[in-house]
Structure 1
Amino acid sequence: MAKHSFLLTADWNGGRNSVGTIDAGNLKTKVSIPPEMDGPGVGTNPDEMLLGAAGTCYIITLAAMLERASISVSSLTLESEGIVEVVSGIITYKEIIHRPNIRLTNEAHEKKALILAEKAEKNCMISRALAGNVEIKLETFIQTDE
């Protein structure tokens, strides 16, 4: 069994509306509370980073599955939307909607590509980590060059 360790260091000087920094190898940035939640909106924030983790994990998993299935793709793009709900001062990350756009070189692979789009969401390690806490939905769009 292989294990991988990832390290993040954070520096935060001040109260709620301060600005901090994080360093996680290739991810080095300022962080703060977003303006939508009455923060300063400097750098990124936990909501964007969770959405980024879910989106990048999903698209990488999907690309790998399409490649293993020998499905030729001329382009693969993704739009992901995170929905955060605030009720009585309690903030909850409710759902993530992934909207993959798969452009195939051959229309014969449309059905299989749709199946793999759904399978990729279930196999992505971030999706599995969020299971039971954040609902993840798919709105897949497939087109062909033909």
Structure 2
Amino acid sequence: MKHPFVLEAVWNGGRNSTGTIEAGQLQTKISIPKEMGGPGIGTNPDEMLLGAAATCYLITLAAMMERSELPVEQLTLTSEATVDVTNNIFTYEAITHRPVVTLKHGSTDSNVEKALLLSHKAESSCMISRAVAGNVQIKTEPSVLVASM
């Protein structure tokens, strides 16, 4: 079964103009970021790729932990992208996911080990990670905590 996704875009001029995109629930303004010489209005392709990779990873990790019946109390994520600019050539080099998994009070060492294992495995199971494989380095630096009373 195939799932089509459609995005409609409007761009209002040259390189430093702005535009809009709409795809399902996603509706936002777009432009080149200020750090890259643009107007910095709305979001940009770099943030959107990071957002796609991060949300895919987070949802995949949550599903894997649920299937494994891990006693998760909270799951948070910070993801960071590195873009290199050399000779006016922009290269999306790496994404690092830093999930923090908090297991419920009384969780076993086995639960902690499984949460760490799944935190690494989710990256290779995520559809977006697989889509950029070979072009963007994706790293995972998880932390697993056990909640105190």
- Verify same fold: TM over 0.5: yes
State the TM-score bracket (shorter-chain normalisation): over 0.9
CA-CA distance at 1:107 after TM superposition: 3.4
Count of residues in correspondence between the two structures: 145
Question: What residue number does 1:130 align with?
Answer: 132
User: Which aligned segments of 4 or more residues in structure 1 are displaced greater than 4 angstroms?
Assistant: none
Q: In structure 2, what is the Cα distance between the partners aligned to 1:102 and 1:139?
A: 11
Q: In structure 2, what is the Cα distance between the partners aligned to 1:91 and 1:139?
A: 25
Question: What residue number does 2:91 align with?
Answer: 92
Query: Normalised by the size of structure 1, how large is the TM-score?
Result: 0.98
Q: In structure 2, what is the Cα distance between the partners aligned to 1:79 and 1:107?
A: 25
SS state at 2:97 partner: strand
The Cα offsets for residues 81-128 of structure 1, whole Å up to 9 and x where unpaired, read as 010000111000000000000000113300001110111000000000
The Cα offsets for residues 51-93 of structure 1, whole Å up to 9 and x where unpaired, read as 0000000000000000000001110000000100001110000
Overall identity of the aligned pairs, in %: 60
CA RMSD of aligned residues (A): 0.7
Query: Normalised by the size of structure 2, how large is the TM-score?
Result: 0.96
CA-CA distance at 1:25 after TM superposition: 1.1
**Which stretch shows the higher mean deviation, 100-109 or 110-119?**
100-109
SS state at 2:101 partner: strand
Question: What residue number does 1:55 align with?
Answer: 54
Unaligned runs of 5+ in 2: none
SS state at 1:67 partner: helix
Q: Could you tell me which amino acid in structure 2 is paired with residue 39 of structure 1?
A: G
CA-CA distance at 1:50 after TM superposition: 0.2
1:121 paired with 2:123, answer yes
Unaligned runs of 5+ in 1: none
SS state at 1:58 partner: helix
